[in-house]
Every structure is written in structure tokens, then in C-alpha cells.
Chains A and B, each alone.
Chain A
Amino acid sequence: MDKIKISTNLRENEKYIRERCAGCADILIRPMRLGDGPKVDCLMVYIEVAVSNMMLDDSALGKMINHFWEISPDQIQEFVRNNSLGIADVKKLPDMESAFAALLAGNAVFFMDGCDQAMKISSKGYPGMGVSGAETEKVLRGSREGFSDAVKVNSALVRKRIRDTRLKVEEKTVGVRSQTVVQILYMSDLVQEDLLYELKNRMDEYVIDGIMDSGMLEQLTGENWYSLFPQYQTTERPDRAAQEILNGKIVVICDNSPYALILPSSFNGFMESSEDWYHHFAMASFLRVLRYIALAAATLLPGLYLAVIRFHTQILPTNLILSFAEAREGVPFSSVTELVFLELAFEMIREAGVRIPGSLGNAIGIVGGLIVGQAAVSANLVSPIVVMIVALTALGGMVIPNEEFASAFRLLKYMFLFLGGYLGIFGIVLGVYLTTAHLAGLLSFGMPYLMPFVKRSGISGKGEGIIRIPFRRRTVRPAYARKEEKLRLKRRSDQ
């Protein structure tokens, strides 16, 4: 599209702006005559709410307008040319497209008669929630801050943690209508350049109406879009994002989304919590192992239960299988139907708990868990052991630190449930084989998804495995960072 130049004739500019903004009641166009003595025609265009209506003395905009009342039109033009007032974030805009981009980004745009440039004057911007706590990544130790909906606030939260100019923040707009601001954050000396190049290529690959959340960007740029497994790590914790940047990864922040995307991602990365590095290594290692056990339980437990009680009863101690048989006496459904019924009931309770606000959501969980479960057992619809299996499976899923990753296993659980229920251990082995084959073929921006379990370099000190190595031994960056910058910890005396 050809860029439309800003005219020196303010009336022409005003006409164009009014035509383009016809029907946009939220965009205010305010003509004004400024200057001491002879006046000059000016035009202020801004979005209501996004820009303070009260041009107060303490706002950049208020200061500027007040100043313009006191100076001559020539001096106003001089100001526009040189930004001599020294107001922060005032930018000259050469054409209408950039003027509208600035306007729609929540800034005020100032036009003046006789001047072929407009001025962007930053204001408070669109309303947002501000910095709040991380809701889905709660920790016992570590920062309480979470990302907000505003991209600029989010990058500032990362910058607060990495005060180094080598932390680069590149800005792009995605979505031809939404013009969503997306920021790419990385350490210039750590990031692998082809990774950065690949990311930008993928972001430019599609032309889309609008991006409303980082999740849409994730699905659009993901390599294996059909896979259940997320190929971007997501976080709402600035400390986690900063930590990953220092590992050589790239963080993508999308406006209107409190979730930052981290790439490349790996299986083990999804099993890590940001506080793993704040705890003692022994406890952190124990928790990581526990998460892997929970992952296995969340995926395999229902399938294994069915395989054992329907095919391989010899595995269980005699008293246990007799208890199972006694507990199932009188249940009208097959064990597969019984388990699917209860699993789906749990999914409904969980979904209801998420949709229903606040404390009512917690109440739904208690009502569902205790009353529905207990009533189902009393009515002989399900056996007590199945309630226990579903509860343990659900607990296992909740232990996984990343929700998207846990969701993949929530769905896989049903595949294993049917395979175990209809083919026993053979079905489970078949499912494990297929899952391993799928995971082995997955790449996240060219990096094997199963890193660091595959392609181990033999270099110790990376701290990528299941066991969290002591902090003092974590001397080398993971394979994501440039090879020449692999060292990340050394003693001052070694320098």
C-alpha cells in the first residue's frame, strides 16, 4: 500500500483523518489554535480513554499544550522540528500510515498547519490490569510478579531482571487489522541467529486478521501443528522468562496476553518449575522425579488399572484382586465404561470449576469430588477403587507444572485407557511405542523435543536433566545457546 504523505495544509489532513475515522466514535479529533500572538491551526487526534482527557500539567501532553500557548507559531514549528521541549517519547511521523499506527497504539497524534510531519506524544495508553501475581505458576519461593496484558509492561519486567543492553527487544506488528504488537526478547550474544531468523520467518509467513493472544501466534508458527504436545514453553512469570533468555532461548511477548512464549522448548523444560533453581538441589531433584512419577500416573494409571483387572489379574496380590472383585460386585457397567464415565464427570467438574468465578469454583470442586463421587459409589454406579484411580490420575495431572503440557497427557490418557482396557499390557506397550515414536519425531524450532534425553553431548554442568545439579556445578549453558558462550558460571579467582 502506498504511504500517504502528511500535507502541509492542515485542512487536507483533517479531511483525510475525518473520512478515515468516520464512525469511530472513540477517536477524538480536536482542532485547536495555539501560539502567543498570531495563532497557528493545530489538530490533536487521540483515542478516548487511552489518552487523558484532562491535559494536566503533569502529563507530557499537558505540558506541551501549555507550552505552545506561550510561544510563537515559529517557535512551535521549531519545537516540532527539534523536539526542543525535551519531552520523552515524542516522535516525528512522516506519513499518515505511521500516524494512524501511533494513534491506534494509544498515543495522541499532533498535526500542525504548515508542517508536513505529525508528532506522536505518548500518553497512558490503553487501559490494562497492571502487574499482578502469577495465577497459574504459583511458587513457594521466588518473585510474586506475573506478566500483565500490556506488552510494554511485560518487556519492562524482563528488563528489570536483565539490566544489560545485550538484551534486545525487537518489536513487530502481527495481524493486518489487529496490528498486535509482538516483542521478541533475546540476548544478542547468546541466541543462535538462525533460530531468530527462523522465528521471524514464521511470523511473517501468514497474513492474518488479528492475533488476540499468544496462543494464536503459537499455533500459527508451531512446526507440528497437529501434535498434542505444545512446541512453545509458556510462562506468566518474568523471572522464568529472564532465566530462559539467559539460557540462550528466545522469549516472545504478545500484546493483550499475560503469557510469554519461550522457544525452543523441550519435554524436560515443561517438567521444570521456576522455583526449582531457588530450592536446595536435593529437594528440587526429588520434586522433579515426583513430577515424572505423577506424569506417568496421569497418563497410564487408568489404562494400567484396566489392563490388570481385565487381563492380568495374576500381577496383583490375591487379596487385592479379591477386594477389587468384591467392590465391583453389582456395578452395572463394564470397567471401561465405568472409568470413562467417571473421568468425563471429573473433566466436567474441572471445567465448571474453571468457568465459575472465585470461591464458587472451589465449592464446585468439593461438591463434585465428594458428593458426586460418594453418591455414585453409594448408588453402585461406580466402584470405590475407580474413584481412587480417577482421583490419583487427576492429582498426577495437576502436579505437572505446565497446563498445556498436562493437557496433552490428559488426552493421551484416554488413548491408553482404551488400549489397556481392550488389549491389556500389549495395548499399553503399543501406546508407549506410538507416543515415543511421535515424541522422537517432534522438533521445536529444529531442536529435538526430547532434549536433553537425546543428543547428550557428554558435557557436564548444563543442569538439563531430571536431577537438578547443585547450583555451583551448573557452569555450562544448555545447547540452545551459542557454543562460544557456553560458560555461565565461574569463580572470580579463575578469571
Chain B
Amino acid sequence: MSVTAVSALPPELIYFSTRSGNTHRFIRKLDLPARRIPIEREAPTLAVTRPFILVTPTYGGGEAKGAVPAPVIRFLNEADNRALLVGVIAAGNTNFGAAYGLAGRIIAEKCGVPLLYRFELLGTDEDVTRVRKGVREFWTRPS
């Protein structure tokens, strides 16, 4: 997709957060337009119609298998959704060693988009500042 198409509209974030709500809190602190991928298996997944950045937590204990939450996989399995993905931001915990933010790396590599940022748990104030600024600049960057 062209960069012009990206910058024509304000940035949208699509995110997933489990019941623990860590990623949800981070998104609230960002105060940018955002929609949440439903948790429930039965719920229809989101459909997107314009370019977006995906924000996702990382699951599991360090292996690639299971690192990307299943609802995020279902969401990305929709080719129309995937085509509009422009970048990924991953939450995690450095306690998981090399698997810190692994979900972001997997999605970036599979979908051919940049891993834009990683943060831990709810994210610090610095994370919020950097991501808010970064998302705005990323969205309006010249091609």
C-alpha cells in the first residue's frame, strides 16, 4: 500500500489484551484511536478498512509456539486485515529472556512489517511518550 494512503487518515491502533488488561492500560495511556480484538472465541473478529498498527502481548514461556495469542492469529488470518497491517508493537517481560516480546518478532517476520517497539507489562511513562510520538511521525513520514 502507498504511504499516501497511510497518512491520509489519523493513525489507528488495533490491539489485543487478555483479561489481565495490561496492554489495554497501555493503550488507554496512549490516548490514540484504538480498537480491541475480542477475547471470546465465539465473537467475530474485527474487520479493518484502513491501515493500522497492531499492539499485542506475548504469550507462553519462551517458545515460538503459542507466543502469538490465538485471537491475534485469527485476526491476522483474514487476508484483508493482514494487507492493512503496517507495523507491530509488542508487550512482554524481560524475565522471559530471549522471548521478550517474541509475538512482535514473529508477526513482523511473517507479515513483512517492522517491529516498531517493545514494552514491558503496562509500559512506563517513557514508553507512552515514545510510542505516541513515534506513531504520529511514522504515520506522516514522507515516502
Q: Do these two chains interact? A: no
Q: Which residues of A contact B (CB under 8 A)?
A: none
Q: Which residues of B contact A (CB under 8 A)?
A: none
